[in-house]
Amino acid sequence: MRLVIREDYDGVSEYIAQYIKHRIIEFNPTPEHPFVIGLPTGSSPIGVYKRLVQYYKNGELSFKNVISFNMDEYVSIPRDHPESYHSFMWNNLFKHIDILPENAHVLDGNAPDLEHECQKYEEKIAAVGGIELFLGGIGPDGHIAFNEPGSSLSSRTRIKTLAYETIIANSRFFGGDVNKVPKLALTVGVATVMDAREVIVLITGAHKALALAKCIEEGLNHMWTVSAIQLHPRGMIVCDEDATLELHVKTVRYFKSIEKVHELLI
Site for ligand GLP, rule CB under 6 A: 40-44, 71-72, 137-139, 145-146, 166, 170
* Residue with the shortest CB distance to ligand GLP: 42
Least spacing, CB of residue 23 vs ligand GLP, in Å: 20
148 catalytic? Reply is yes
Choice between 203 and 216, CB closer to ligand GLP? 203
143 counts as catalytic: yes
Q: Which is nearer to ligand GLP, 29 or 139 (CB)?
A: 139
Min CB(40)–ligand GLP separation in Å: 5
Report the nearest approach of ligand GLP to the CB of residue 108 (Å): 16
Q: How far is the CB of 44 from ligand GLP (least distance, A)?
A: 3
Handedness of CA 217, 223, 227, 232 (dihedral sign): positive
Catalytic residue status for 72: yes
- 141 noted as active-site residue: yes
Catalytic residue among 117, 148, 195, 198: 148
Choose the catalytic residue: 73, 117, 122, 141: 141
User: Which one is catalytic: 73, 86, 117, 143?
Assistant: 143
User: Which is closer to ligand GLP, CB of 170 or CB of 244?
Assistant: 170
Q: Which residues does the annotation mark as catalytic?
A: 72, 141, 143, 148
